[in-house]
Amino acid sequence: MKTKDIVEMAGIYTFDKEDPMDPEVLVDGVGRYKLSQVKRNVREKLQDLAARVAETDDPRAWREVGRLINHGAMHEMIRTIVQTHDELQEIRSKGGPRSRGIEKE
């Protein structure tokens, strides 16, 4: 498989007819997860980062938060969430049976 093919696979991996707003997605460099799992993981990471600096002016804490935000996995997870929502909206705009259950943004 060529790199180009892998890049094109990012986003929706398996469409879920039962719950179209929660497809299985491919997070580049991380793996396959349900969209809801990726969102929960990012929320938990962001809450943890906020807690680390909630009441501190320690530059080391801020540097650590910066490092974690720029970490590749977090970036890829957020990119996958946005890309998946874009793909879902594209499917919805085309109409047809596959678009049923996809909420308008």
Task: State which residues form the domain around 89.
Answer: 3-99
Buried b (16+ CB within 10 A) or exposed e, 12-40: bbeeeeeebeebebbbbebeebbbeebbe
Which one-letter amino acid corresponds to residue 17?
K
Q: Which two tokens stand for residue 22?
A: 């929660």
pLDDT band at 38 (very low <50, low <70, confident <90, very high): very high
Burial letters 48-66, b for 16+ CB under 10 A, else e: ebeeeeeeeeeeeeeeeee
Residue 99's pLDDT is: 86
Give the pLDDT confidence of 67-94 residue by residue, as tens digits: 888 876 888 999 999 999 999 999 999 9
Is there a domain that residue 104 lies in?
Answer: no
- State residue 5's pLDDT score: 45
Number of domains in the chain: 1
Residue 7 domain-assigned? yes
Residue 63 lies in a domain: yes
